[in-house]
Amino acid sequence: MTLKPFIRDAQPDDATAIGKALQAYLVQTEKEKTEQGAGGCLSPMGELPVKYRAEVEDPAGALSDCLVFVAELDRSVVGVVVVKPQAESVEVKRLWASPGVRGRGVGSALLDVAIVAAGSVPVTLTVWDWRQSAIRMYESRGFAQVVSWDERPRLICMRRDVRHAASRSAQARRRASHRVTTTH
């Protein structure tokens, strides 16, 4: 059994695993939103809203303007991070670790790779206020809450500003360099 996650660039043959990971993430998020009174949108049959289906059914097409990294344990994809370059920042759009591997560094390793991928620009993300363990992880990597750019209540906007996180960036690069293989 592999002890640490192996992080790498997503490849075309990862599409099914990425779709399944994103579906699990999106379904869990919609269920939590319903439970938390934040407007979950699963159909009575448990189907995702149309706006999310392309990510699940055709991740390569739907995320063509993003960088996608996967985490593996024991040669199985157990996590994914989707990073979208913006004009003056990089946004973490999706970050998911399968529930069965949480606490094993998968989410942290994926976040470290997203930070390294951002280079010298700030990294932004949003997180629901009830996801306290995720918020603590983001804060441990130098993210801070900022004024919201999203109108949805209970959605926290966070930013990792480069000038405040230079030393943390070096730490993230060191952590990520031990886990990342880049293949194009």
Number of domains in the chain: 1
Q: What percent of the chain has pLDDT over 70?
A: 87
User: How much is the pLDDT for 183?
Assistant: 40
User: How much is the pLDDT for 165?
Assistant: 52
**Residues ≥6 apart with Cβ < 8 Å to 57:** 19
Q: Is the pLDDT of residue 164 over 60?
A: no
Question: pTM of this prediction?
Answer: 0.86
At 112, is the pLDDT very low, low, confident or very high (cuts 50, 70, 90)? very high
- In the block, which residue shows the tokens 């699990």? 24
Instruction: Give me 91's structure tokens.
Output: 């946004």
Q: What share of residues in the chain are helix, strand, coil (percent, to 5)? A: 40, 25, 35
Q: Is the pLDDT of residue 63 over 60?
A: yes
Q: Is the pLDDT of residue 178 over 60?
A: no
Give residue-wise pLDDT tens across range 116-160.
Answer: 999 999 999 999 999 999 999 999 999 999 999 999 989 999 999
> What is the pLDDT of the chain when averaged over all its residues?
89
Specify if 161 maps to a domain.
yes
CATH number of 116's domain = 3.40.630.30
Report the range of poorest mean pLDDT among 49-53, 59-63, 131-135. 49-53
Q: Are 141 and 81 spatial neighbours (Cβ–Cβ below 8 Å)?
A: no
Specify if 81 maps to a domain.
yes
128: β partners: 155
Give residue-wise pLDDT tens across range 22-43.
Answer: 999 999 999 999 999 998 888 8
Specify if 1 maps to a domain.
no
160: β partners: 123
**In terms of residue numbers, what domain contains 113?**
6-181
Specify if 107 maps to a domain.
yes
At 163, is the pLDDT very low, low, confident or very high (cuts 50, 70, 90)? low
Checking DSSP bridges between strand 123-128 and strand 90-97, what pairing results, if any? parallel
Mean pLDDT across the stretch 8-23? 96
User: How much is the pLDDT for 129?
Assistant: 96
Q: Which of 43, 16, 6 is nearest to 27 (CA)?
A: 43
Specify if 42 maps to a domain.
yes
26-35 burial, b at 16+ Cβ within 10 Å, e below that, comes to bbebbeebee
Q: Are 21 and 56 spatial neighbours (Cβ–Cβ below 8 Å)?
A: no
Rg value, the chain, Cα: 16
Specify if 86 maps to a domain.
yes
Q: Is the pLDDT of residue 46 over 90?
A: no
- Taking the C-alpha atoms of residue 152 and residue 26, their distance in angstroms, rounded to an integer, is 16
7: β partners: 71, 180
User: How much is the pLDDT for 33?
Assistant: 93
